Amino acid sequence: MRKSLHPVVMIALVAAVTLAGRALPTWTLSLATIAASNALIALGIVVLARTGNVSFGQGLFFAAGGYGVALIANAWGLTDAVAQVIVGALCGGLLGLVVGPLIARYSGIFFGMLTLALSMVFYGALVKSTALGGSDGFNVGRPSLFGMSFTDPREADYMLYAISVIVTGFAGIAATILFRSEFGLASLAVRENNLRVEYLGLSANRIISINFLIAAIFAGASGAFALMAQRHIDPQFAYWTTSGEFVFVAVLAGNQSVAAVFVASMALELVRSFSNLYLPNTWQLVLGVFLLGVILFLPRGIGSLWIRDRRKRRISTTAHLTVERGAAP
Amino acid sequence: MDRSWRTICAVLLASIATSSFTLAAPASAQETFKLGIVTFLSGPAADSFGVPARNGAQFVIDQLNKGAAPSPYEKVGFGGLKIEPVIIDENGGATKQVQELRNLYQRDSVDVVLGYISSGDCLAVAPIAEELKKMLVLMDCGTPRIFEEAKYNYVFRTAAHATMDNVGLVRYMKAKNVKMETLSAINQDYAWGQDSRADFVAAAQQLYPNVKVQTDLLPKFGAGQYGTEISALVGAGSDVVYSSLWGGDLQAFVLQSAPRGLPKRSQLVFSAADHVLPPLGDKMPDGTIIGARGAYGLMSQKSPLNDWLFKGYEAANGVYPVQAAYRIAQSILGLKAAAEKAMSKNGGRKPSTDEMVAAMTGLEWPSPGGLIQMKLADGHQAIQPIAISRTKYNPDLKRVDLVDIQYFAAECVNPPPGVKSIDWIKGGMQGAKCN
């Protein structure tokens, strides 16, 4: 895409952020865990958005990951945090494998609405299933790590923080490498003109399916993090407002920088939390004004604060992102 | 859209971030008791439950801080400590509630968090408080699962769970000889509706062994339009139509069913309907059997404590208090009783969390809605008396009065310790003490 950070520098950045958690006040740790988990799923949306499709139903994979982990944890006592992330990613990925190829044939608003519809079907089924606690959901035990269990709340929070930052960080690095790869560039080409891509001998459907699968894996892992952080799952995971929030993060971040996704996600959590504390009656208004402000003053997202080159093939990106914003809730 | 904007935005973002960290630092000059209060301030449950609860909390805390409450609560605040409330919105789902609960304890260093109306939120926050070893008082949520599926030391619920509402209704109907050979039900398709329906049907089958369930409807939460459902209910023509609908859904159902004659054909029975009486007024059909999830509002029993809440709340808010205001009042008074009990033992210092927990466990205290006893779940779950009554519109006062009120003792409508609610009902409600 452009001259940018070497992967080694990025790994160092991830390590630095992980260690910085040692110095953060306790309450920010779980907030940052949720922010990292939301960033991971929003990153998936950005990956998918490069093919020109926005999924309004990532809650489907988020919930699949969360419920998969929760059920396995309760049935077989699997509490290891790393194993739970892998299970979550697998659940999301498996579902993505089934749904992706079916849905890749559609594009634009049809794609968006179909993903939304599928997630709401899942939501409806979960609300009806009284064995899974219906709309109230159910609880799971706290996670452990490599056989160690953490009784000190701060240590437990730090463990989750570290894992979520590392996993999300590496996902971000992988996404950056992917964006620069041949496949990543072909994804961009699908968005510009999928007919021409087909004439070049590539299958646009396959490219969309693979990107969809990546987004689903990220969403499943993100569901596992959300579950570990709150130890409770309910059908709200699959509800459309949850999915909408992830698109919200992706819109805030813009698709220029992977790091922007993390910054946007953290900023959103902070604004939400503090507006809820100081303005309990109007916190939604504050969130809305925040989003409006970012759209008006940073139309290409928070990432445009530090990404400067916008001459090279950026015009089309802008045009496309504006379309996405128009559709975002 | 160039560099200057970018700088401004960057500076703004950075300043938001830094100011949020500095604002978070606690700065208390005088020792207070910091009480986190979580209730719906937006969303569908705000009008019916959340806002009345907030108003109730504000009234009670103001009065306590002034030392204006009647006996035995005449001390200022909690044993002399002024109460400093931090009120936040419960809307936004369980993920947000878990996060905000942590923030309340870890960032805002509140001493106790009190609140939660949604059962899903209660289930989600309880284990977190337990892990953080901080005291949490659940004030309203209905599901019996909280203490039946897990054991908590730091979590309390100061109100009876939803089993009481339905057992009370069926006992009332039996006591008043309401005929119920056939039964139809309409409940929202989510945990509250599903659980209430299961409890009511199970209790009905105990006291009316020959009852036949006819139409059993589960429209989705927030449906608002009940044309088809009302057709089905009118068509079935059961003796009794039971519903646990609440808020806007219940109002819509009543408004749409009355013109079609449903109340004339079937006896309507609503498990939690007192909060829709002020907005519905004369649209509420006379003779409907309703519960209020306790002896609350117009069904409350006269006492100095009840007069204080009823009249004071009405004067402050222009409307009489309904269930949510009573429920939050009884939980704040319970905390006050616990704090003062703990302070009488530790020599008057501000009680620690463990001292508060020890004092609250198994506590009993008088409230505007009657005596609250922490009898279930090893002293962590309250039982309380309930009242059931019939509606009758009073054109002089332009409000719905409640007549034919019958009170049931706490131990008549709540399961004994150690038994799951649904098993207790299905097992014939063994050990119930009614007189």
Q: Is residue A81 part of a domain?
A: yes
Q: Does A325 touch chain B (CB under 8 A)?
A: no
3-state secondary structure chain B: CCHHHHHHHHHHHHHHHHHHHHHHCCCCCCCEEEEEEEECCCCHHHHHHHHHHHHHHHHHHHHHHHCCCCCCCCCCCECCEEEEEEEEECCCCHHHHHHHHHHHHHHCCCCEEEECCCHHHHHHHHHHHHHHCCEEEECCCCCCHHHHCCCCCCEEECCCCCHHHHHHHHHHHHHCCCCCCEEEEECCCCHHHHHHHHHHHHHHHHHCCCCEEEEEECCCCCCCCCHHHHHHHHHHCCCEEEECCCHHHHHHHHHHHHHHCHHHHCEEEECECHHHHHHHHHHCCCCCEEEECCCCHHHCCCCHHHHHHHHHHHHHHCCCCCHHHHHHHHHHHHHHHHHHHHHHHHCCCCCCHHHHHHHHCCCEEEECCEEEEEEECCCCEEECCEEEEEEEEECCCCEEEEEEEEEECHHHHCCCCCCCHHHHHHCCCCCCCCC
CATH superfamily of B163-299+385-426: Response regulator (3.40.50.2300)
**Is there a contact between B166 and B196 (Cβ–Cβ < 8 Å)?**
yes
The pLDDT tens digits of the residues spanning B342-376 come to: 888 888 888 889 999 999 998 999 999 889 999 88
Q: How far is B59 from chain A (nearest CA, A)?
A: 18
- In tens, the pLDDT along A77-111 reads 788 888 888 999 999 999 999 998 888 888 888 88
Specify the higher pLDDT residue, A124 or A316.
A124
Going by C-alpha positions, the residue among B57, B65, B189 that lies closest to residue B117 is B57
Nearest CA in chain B to A238: B93
Asked if B93 has any chain A CB less than 8 Å from its own CB, the reply is yes
Contacts with A127 from chain B: Cβ below 8 Å = 189-190
Contact B99 A25 (CB under 8 A): no
Domain B29-160+302-383: give its CATH architecture.
3-Layer(aba) Sandwich (3.40)
Per-residue pLDDT reduced to its tens digit, A2-12: 456 677 777 88
In a domain, A59, yes or no: yes
Examine the pLDDT at B94 and tell me if it is beyond 90: no
Give Dmax (Cα) for chain B: 79
The ipTM value here is 0.78
Q: Is B353 on the interface with A (CB under 8 A)?
A: no
Tens of pLDDT, residue by residue over B40-77, are 988 888 888 889 999 999 999 999 998 888 888 888 88
Cβ of residue A73 closer than 8 Å to a chain B Cβ: no
Token look-up 């020599």 returns B347
Residue A322 in domain = no
Residue with token string 């936004």: B92
Contact residues, chain B, for A281 at CB < 8 Å: 41-42, 89
A154-205 pLDDT, tens digit each: 778 888 888 888 898 888 888 888 888 888 888 888 888 888 888 888 888 8
- Give the C-alpha separation, A242 to A260, whole Å: 20
* Minimum distance, in Å, between the CA of residue A105 and any CA atom of chain B: 32
Q: Which residue has the higher pLDDT, B138 or A30?
A: B138
Answer yes or no: is A170 within a domain.
yes
pLDDT band with cut points at 50, 70 and 90 for residue B5: low
Give per-residue pLDDT as tens, B173-212. Answer: 989 888 889 999 999 888 888 888 889 999 999 989 989 9
Q: Report the domain count for chain A.
A: 1
Chain A closest CA to B318's CA: distance in Å?
20
Q: Which residues of B touch A272 (CB under 8 A)?
A: 96
Q: Please tell me which of the candidates B10, B42, B194 has its beta carbon nearest to residue A305.
A: B10
The residue with tokens 């001493």 is B111
Least CB–CB distance from B94: residue in A137, A273, A281: A137
**Element (DSSP H or E) covering residue A138:** strand A138-139
Range of the domain at A156: 7-240
A137 touching chain B per CB within 8 A: yes
On whether residue A190 sits in a domain, the answer given is yes
Q: Report the range of poorest mean pLDDT among A49-63, A250-264, B263-277.
A: A250-264
> Does some domain include residue A272?
no
Select from A230, A274, A304 the residue whose CB has the most chain B CBs within 10 Å, as the one to mutate to test that interface.
Answer: A230
- Boundaries of every domain in chain B: 29-160+302-383, 163-299+385-426
Is 50 exceeded by the pLDDT of residue A329?
A: no
